[in-house]
Amino acid sequence: MTASTPREQLAAQLSEAVASALAVDLENHERALLVVSGGSTPVPFFKRLASIELPWSRIDVTLADERWVAEDAEDSNARLVREHLLQGPAAAARFCPLTSDDSTPELGVEAVTKRVTELPWPASVVVLGMGGDGHTASLFPDSGELGLALTTDDPLVATRSPSVVQPRITLSAGRLHQARRHVLHVVGDDKRSVLAHAMAGDDVRELPIRAFLACPLAVYWAP
Ligand SMILES: O=C(O)[C@H](O)[C@@H](O)[C@H](O)[C@H](O)COP(=O)(O)O
């Protein structure tokens, strides 16, 4: 696949970096874990990573967060991963979704937690996105559960936010920190401004992406 635009070039570079990280970790570990985010930004990255030859049967993939919707719903992150990442060579990866048959994330979080804690932590790579409000995963500034999600030792938190329609489930900040490498994948000038603002301050509750500016963070940004 040729990289035509800056965003395609970025996706190519990120997919190569993530593939290398997974390959290195699999030299010393039986399995490797990749944590990805949903939304629209990751799609070109997913498509390119999916085509890279890796021992995918030894790789676990899970999400940083999920909308509490059916896996075949338009806005399901699991659907996004299945359609764009778990294809071609990467179809052999083992995917751990973050939803259950329970009607709410509050009811489902215990079952999902059991599944997630069995994954081969620490993750090789956590790939974060960021919204225009500085949220990452489902750590939303206006969520009533943000304080808990930023401080708990629990791996997962059910969250709700006035700024999003669906109830969410998210890896906690603490669990998202359990990774050998962290990446922030953002595109566009608006997000560059938000990131600049985030880097100029310390209030994590204002811009939750700040919770990841202290750990080494590889920022993959294109206009
Ligand atoms: O479930 C989600 O939506 C994501 O996990 C979320 O944290 C995403 O990374 C940002 O909202 C950016 O989304 P875009 O890439 O669509 O701008």
ipTM of the complex: 0.96
CA gap 17, 43 in Å, rounded: 16
In tens, the pLDDT along 8-55 reads 999 999 999 999 999 999 999 999 999 999 999 999 999 999 999 999
| pLDDT reported for residue 215 | 86
Query: Are 45 and 185 spatial neighbours (Cβ–Cβ below 8 Å)?
Result: yes
Q: 158: helix, coil or strand?
A: strand
| pLDDT reported for residue 196 | 98
Tokens matching residue 179 = 């990774």
pTM over 0.90: yes
CA gap 116, 101 in Å, rounded: 16
Ligand 1, closest atom to CA 186?
15
Ligand 1 binding pocket (C-beta < 6 A) is 37-41, 64-65, 77, 129-131, 135-137
In tens, the pLDDT along 158-195 reads 999 999 999 999 999 999 999 999 999 999 999 999 99
Cα(35) to centroid(ligand 1), Å: 13
| CA proximity to 36, closest of 105, 85, 108 | 85
What pLDDT band is residue 200 in, cutting at 50, 70 and 90?
very high
Please list, in sequence order, all residues whose beta carbon lies within 8 angstroms of the beta carbon of residue 168, skipping any fewer than 6 positions away. Answer: 65, 66, 67, 68, 105, 138, 140, 158, 159, 160, 161
